[in-house]
Structure 1
């Protein structure tokens, strides 16, 4: 783990800055998705332009700041194909949640990714998980119940299920990336994901494509550009700082989601969201902190440490 080696403070701050930039870009992507929908774009069109317009951005990054086009070569092709399939499915649920829910609520449910990553890590990777992390998982789900208030009718349960399903797929991708990252560079994975996604999206797009005005097409293209830049910023952040340092920055997305929701759609989070969101955030931060603590002492198993 990178956390066990000394890291230059200036590089850590640069990594944090890159992560904050990535959060801003991807929060802007969510806002653009909702704007595109209000202008008549459907989910298939949104996903097609998001992925298609990101490919040239990633290629340009490889040429300018990366190792060049040699990074296109993968030593885990099968893994990349599976990651693309899982990632594209997760993206469909993620964008679906953005379309079905207010931005702040969709963002809050996305904070459950560390919770599902812990569960899947224990079930799939057989990672030792003690009562500290299971307690954080339970607290996180309590936060979800506070936000969604099942049975009250104030929160679209269908949208909540879509958002939580998205988090499950994102957690699955995180587990896959641990394996792929051992043989392929992050920018290689970003390229393969964007490129492989275009195969099914190109086949599907003609059945859902509609005529739009110039502004709507500009919004759709901007989604791809902003999304591609956001992915690159996420990748760059991990070059300069460990996960434990940059991941807490992800929670700043709630600020941007609230701001965009208020300015663009005249919507503010419900009172229960303000109560439940801190619970979910706290559980996620505790899981990250616990993983960081255990990684610094590999000689002590998680089961013993907990």
Structure 2
């Protein structure tokens, strides 16, 4: 879970760097094309796929693919106008959505401690970011972030629902293949030819998204939302690192205090009674 969140943070930072010059459809089409190309190369070189490709639940797989597109588009359009750490404030509504969706859709029990430590983690995020909120009237950026957060929560619900169909090849194929044909015409209409450096960055998004997606699916095969949801708040730490290393934005004392609260909540959530 933590590895996947780290990869998503790098993906978000890379996407933010690209957001000023490329349309969301082109960025996502690049991402899925790279994933399918890597899967095809594996099959050609190894003469076998890394796991089964078929599925007994095509409807659920297609639904997960649709929510993946919604998540990617929502975060990309949100972070175009927001600092990375501030955009994560909106994203941190996802753990609460996730707990509620697990309870309503999957009928899995959600102990009070899970809600409690998610609340502590979100308080830490507010403590870190509230003094420096800068989007002002850019409410569309927050709206896109909320859409991305909801779709992200639904992806995690689908991961848990599809835990009986593990496998890297199946996950990549059913995530990318349905989405790419829908994105290509839109991307073609909005196409901006990237220089070599940007082309590499766009391709890197595919590697980052693929690794993060596989990590999340693996995490939710072994544990449920009450166990994993509070860890989502650790993404604040990755966002702070990205702001420092890429944009030279050093965190304030408020951010350090909030990060401490977030880390404490994540640790304590792991000490709570396990939810299988």
Q: Which runs of 5+ in 1 are unaligned?
A: 1-15, 296-306
Matched, 1:196 2:155: no
What is the Cα deviation at residue 77 of structure 1? 0.5
What is the Cα deviation at residue 59 of structure 1? 4.1
Is the contact made by 1:51 and 1:224 (CA closer than 8 Å) also made in structure 2? Answer: yes
Partner of 1:87: 68
Aligned residue for 1:31, secondary structure, equals helix
Indicate how the Cα distance of structure 1 residues 153 and 257 shifts in structure 2: closer, same or farther if over 3 A, else same: closer
Partner of 1:42: 23
Is the contact made by 1:58 and 1:190 (CA closer than 8 Å) also made in structure 2? Answer: yes
What is the Cα deviation at residue 56 of structure 1? 1.9
Matched, 1:114 2:95: yes
Partner of 2:32: 51
Query: In terms of mean alpha carbon deviation, does 281-290 or 93-102 score higher?
Result: 281-290
- TM-score, normalising length from structure 1? 0.71
Indicate how the Cα distance of structure 1 residues 64 and 24 shifts in structure 2: closer, same or farther if over 3 A, else same: farther
Work out which of the residue numbers 187, 198, 217 in structure 1 matches 2:199: 217
Q: Distance in 1 between matches of 2:118 and 2:110?
A: 11
Is the contact made by 1:111 and 1:280 (CA closer than 8 Å) also made in structure 2? Answer: no
Partner of 1:26: 8
Q: Distance in 2 between matches of 1:203 and 1:43?
A: 13
Is the contact made by 2:50 and 2:168 (CA closer than 8 Å) also made in structure 1? Answer: no
Is the contact made by 1:112 and 1:140 (CA closer than 8 Å) also made in structure 2? Answer: no
Q: Which has the higher contact order (CA 8 A, sep 6+)?
A: 1
Q: Name the count of aligned residue pairs.
A: 273
Partner of 1:205: 187
Indicate how the Cα distance of structure 1 residues 23 and 130 shifts in structure 2: closer, same or farther if over 3 A, else same: closer
Work out which of the residue numbers 31, 52, 61 in structure 2 matches 1:71: 52
- TM-score, normalising length from structure 2? 0.77
